[in-house]
Structure 1
Amino acid sequence: MVGDRLITRAFQDGDGAHGAKRRRQIIIAATEAFFANGYGSTTMTSIASKVGGSKTTLWSYFPSKEALFAAVIDDIIETRGEALSVDLPDDEELRPFLARFGAVLMATLLSEPILNLHRLVIGEARRFPHLAELFYERGPRRGKARLADYFARAMHQGRLRQGDPAVAAQQFAALCQAGTYQFAIMNLPIPDREAQVAADIEYAVEAFTRGWALG
């Protein structure tokens, strides 16, 4: 996976309570810096200055800016990525499952840290395409793979028509994001956002089941 070899040392160094606390301080400072200034305009020197200490100490935890950015991604996904851990039971009725999963997915995508991360990656993708790959591998690809596995089982059980489960996963995720999310990612005002999201999910479930569900 892109960047994994770069962060191995980052999670080995600085062991113990003090090291964990220091690493956490660095990740928080880096998150604030990346969101405020972008990836390209943020330097390891500026982050070291923000947390207090030398750049040498910072490098002992994170051997590169890319490794630190990967840690920021992992931290945000770990704390806000509920869609990556939501239950996918095979015995739940399809429509209630899709509605529940869609709600969790949208709550994840519309949380401010996840939105800011998406905006940052999109804004830097042309200059730093490897960052987009790094983010996609650690977040969206994992979520879509889990959903695709669920859809593959549903196809095997005869609850969905046969097809490519990865395509089904991409389509359902895209349907959920077709409305409110498009305004949110551009930071546009969304009146009564909760009701709008609920409507988006309802439409997504209806459209998806019309195309994929059997019976």
Structure 2
Amino acid sequence: MNVQNTAIRKGRKFDQVLAGARDVFLAEGFSASNMDHVAKASGVSKATLYSYFPDKESLFIVVVQTECARQSDEAMEHIDQSAPPAVVLSNAARHLLGFITSEFGQRMFRICVAQADRFPELGLAFYQSGPMVVREKIGAYLQSATEAGQLEITDFDLAADQFGELCKADVFPKILFGVQTVFEQSELDRIIDGAVSTFLAKYGA
């Protein structure tokens, strides 16, 4: 299955199917879920479900892509990019950490890692819909801020990746190894403040 070339036919109950599939994957994981469960949760017939998605893998990929796109679009809509870099980056970090620590973000990451050997397309879809989108959107902001004289950056992709990694400090390793899955806002604020101040110490104009 090719992630890029998977043809999906949309119809009247398409969003209904995606919502049901999202609930099933979150509740049961990838391996334990099946198309029967999704059809039941979505309130559609199996024929309708299969008319949209040929298999569970393609359905999962679209669920991940749709949710990541929604999160990204919402984040950018609520961030005033004309504000000072410290404010913009703090808001971006807050949205990024919000997704990473969310139930959906944690579950999808674990599913993709667990299935990486058998279905590498799942990991690729998550990477393209998540980290790559973050790099592109943060990188675009960093470039505009540099052109405005607010930052001093030459490699925007690298700087965007560095910012993303700073935002995950302490939190992501705990999630990765199952040490901690729920975080207080004060814990996240500590990471955000440290990420932004460290980043600006390097790239601030």
Normalising to structure 1: TM-score of the pair?
Answer: 0.79
In 2, Cα distance between equivalents of 1:114 and 1:192: 14
1:97-119 Cα offsets, whole Å, 9 max, x none, are 22222112212222211221122
Q: 8 Å contact 2:101–2:183 — kept in the other structure?
A: no
CA distance in 2, matches of 1:87, 1:51: 33
Q: RMSD of aligned C-alpha atoms? A: 2.7
**1:110 aligned residue:** 101
Instruction: Find 1:87's aligned residue among 58, 65, 79.
Output: 79
Among the aligned pairs, what percent are the same residue? 27
Could you tell me which runs of 5 or more consecutive residues in structure 1 were left unpaired when the two chains were aligned. none
The aligned counterpart of 1:5 is 5
- Over residues 118-138 of structure 1, what are the superposed CA-to-partner deviations in whole Å (9 max), with x where a residue is unaligned? 221122122211111112222
Aligned CA distance change for structure 1 residues 84 and 181 (closer, same or farther; 3 Å)? farther
Q: Which has the larger radius of gyration?
A: 1
State the distance in 2 between where 1:164 and 1:56 align: 49
In structure 2, the partner of 1:61 is 52
The match for 2:164 is 173
1:44-82 residue CA offsets vs partner (Å, 9 max, x unmatched): 345346556653332112133232112211342355444
TM-score by length of 2: 0.82
Counterpart position of 1:120: 111
Change (3 A) 1:143 1:189: closer
Distance change in 2, residues 1:84/1:69 (3 Å) = farther
Task: State the AA in 1 paired with 2:67.
Answer: I
Is the Cα–Cα contact under 8 Å of residues 174 and 180 in structure 2 kept in the other structure? Answer: yes
Could you tell me which residue of structure 1 aligns to residue 134 of structure 2? 143
Corresponding residue number in structure 2 for 1:152? 143
Gaps of 5+ in 2: none
Aligned length: 203
- Structure 1 match to 2:68: 77
Residues 112-165 of structure 1 deviation map (CA, whole Å, 9 limit, x = unaligned):
112211221122122211111112222321221011011112222332223210
Q: Is the 8 A contact 1:73 1:135 kept in 2?
A: yes
